[in-house]
Each structure stands twice: as C-alpha cells, then as structure tokens.
Amino acid sequence: MATKTLSDLLIAKGTGYSDTNTASMNLSRGGQSGQMPVLGAMDGGEYAHVYVSNQAYVRRNVIPILIAAPTAFTYLPNSEEWIKAYKHLLETAMETIDGLNTTLTVDSDDHPFGGGGEQQSEPTNSTYSQSSITYTWKEKSLKSVVKFWDKVIRYTIMDPFTKKPLVANLDAFSSAFTGAYTPDFYAGTMLFIEPDITQLVVVDAWYSTNFYPSTAGDRTGSRDLHSAGDTKDISIEFKNITINNEATHALAATILPTINTLKYMPDTKIIVPTAIDSSVTAQTGVGYSDTPSA
C-alpha cells in the first residue's frame, strides 16, 4: 500500500466539507484513541504521517479590524482625532477581547416512543448564539479611556441630560442632516480574524456591525490614606449584530495579507538607540569612560 503524503491528510479548500477559503484536516485520519497509538509506518506506510492529522486546535488571538467608524465622528471638531482614537482602542490598545460566539444549536420537540420511557426528538429550530463582545483596557493616565467613551456616547448616541446625541447641536451636522439619524451614525463595524500560527491563513472570522458601547466604563473615585493607590481596568460590552460564515471568511482572507505590521521582523523593527546620549558621553572620568579617573 502506498505511503500517504502530507497533502493526503488535508482536505483542500473548496473541497468536500472544507471552507471555500481554508483547508480542513482530513477527519478520516488521525485520532489516537483506538487499540494502540500509531507513530511510524504500518501496512506499507499507510499511517506514516498519522500524527499530523492528530494535531490539536490551539486558540490564536483574534486580530480586530475596524471596517467602518460611526458616521457622526465626521461632523465633530477634529474628526480625525476621534476616528484615530476609536480605531486604536478597538484594534490594538485593549488587553482582552471576549464573547465572540457563533455556536450553532438545534432545538427539538420530544414525544414518547412506546411505553418504555424512551423519547423521540424532532428538530424544530436552529440558531446561533448571540455574541456578547467585551473589551478590556488598562485605564490610561488622566482617565483618558473612560472619558473618551463618555464623549462617544454623549455625542453620538445619547446625552443623559438632553436625551439626544450632542452632535445634533453642531452646525456642521444640522446643516447637512438629511432627516434620519440611522444606526450608522453611532455604530461602527468590526471584523475579528482568528489566524493560524503563521498569521497567513484565516481559521475563523466574525463580522460585527451595529457595534456600539453599552457603557463608558466605571468612573469612580475614593479616598483611603492607609492604602496604596491602584490601577484600573475599563471593561465595556458592545452591542452588536454578528455573523460568521464563508462570506466573512472570504473578506478576512482578503484583508489579512494586507496587514503589514504582522510581517515585521523584530530584529529590524524593534528600534533601539544607535549611540550613547551626548549628555552621558560628556561626563568624563566616571563609569566606563575613555578618560581614567584621577
């Protein structure tokens, strides 16, 4: 029997049960829970590479990509600063992202099967879980993070005093307003890409729109002279409509190769000084100086 090649242990993308844009492990091979584990060649080499198919999935950190920022930002003073901060906070400044979930479940209706207590089930519905996307940041000096999201909510969603988005009070907005404050004014759109270990292949992808914060984060204060000060985490859950299908994977496969920062080489892109600061070299006769001390 011919030796199987590594390619025989993959189902090519767009073939069988694999995704259109991503290959799948051949689920008819591998698995080491039979009579005995298999490592080397058996039966003429049939299982020579079976350990490859037995490779386990390892979660990789998702790469969040901002697809669209809230339209209301374009009517605020210094709009570019709003968009840059929004993009940075959602793409790279956070510590954690949790809650992406497209678990598929099937609802069933049960009815008796005979008199022995068995039940026969009939599928009645199938649904995906709702994603509950939560970001966590380490609060920056001057409470900058919570203050930013406070302004985002008040200016684009609703101010607690006026019960309206404050952007509506600006001439730049009122002069261009067409008569409908639609969700795109206050909500953004995100793409969350889970890559493989090489960051060249899309393993999973979530497209999330109608994406807006449900809170600005805890903004509290206290006084205790007997205790040390402490840092603070800001956690915000974002409302969203999220889908995960082959169309989102195709979009992710288009965007992932364009993220040049993923291709940086640490040896050349992590910059260190090329010389000693002149204020230090001016000090002679101390430390490792080329002028000996007296």
> So where are the chain's domains?
1-56, 63-263
Which class for 215: exposed (0-12), middle (13-18), buried (19 or more C-beta within 10 A)?
middle
For the residues 32-41, what does the mean pLDDT come to?
66
The answer to whether residue 160 scores a pLDDT higher than 50 is: yes
pLDDT of residue 14: 84
Q: What is the pLDDT of residue 2?
A: 46
Distance CA(36)–CA(47), nearest Å, equals 13
- Residues 37-54, mean pLDDT to the nearest whole number: 63
Q: Which amino acid is at 73?
A: F
**Residues 249-274: pLDDT tens digits?**
999 999 999 998 888 888 888 888 88
pLDDT score of 121: 98
Q: Which of 5-9, 13-17, 83-87 has the highest mean pLDDT?
A: 83-87
In the predicted model, is pLDDT for residue 106 greater than 80? Answer: yes
**Mean per-residue pLDDT for 173-192?**
97
Q: State the pLDDT confidence band at 47, using cuts at 50, 70 and 90.
A: low
If you average pLDDT over every residue of the chain, what do you get?
Answer: 90
Record the pTM: 0.89
pLDDT band at 1 (very low <50, low <70, confident <90, very high): very low
pLDDT level of residue 20 (50, 70, 90 thresholds): confident
CB-neighbour burial class of residue 194 (10 A; exposed 0-12, middle 13-18, buried 19+) = middle
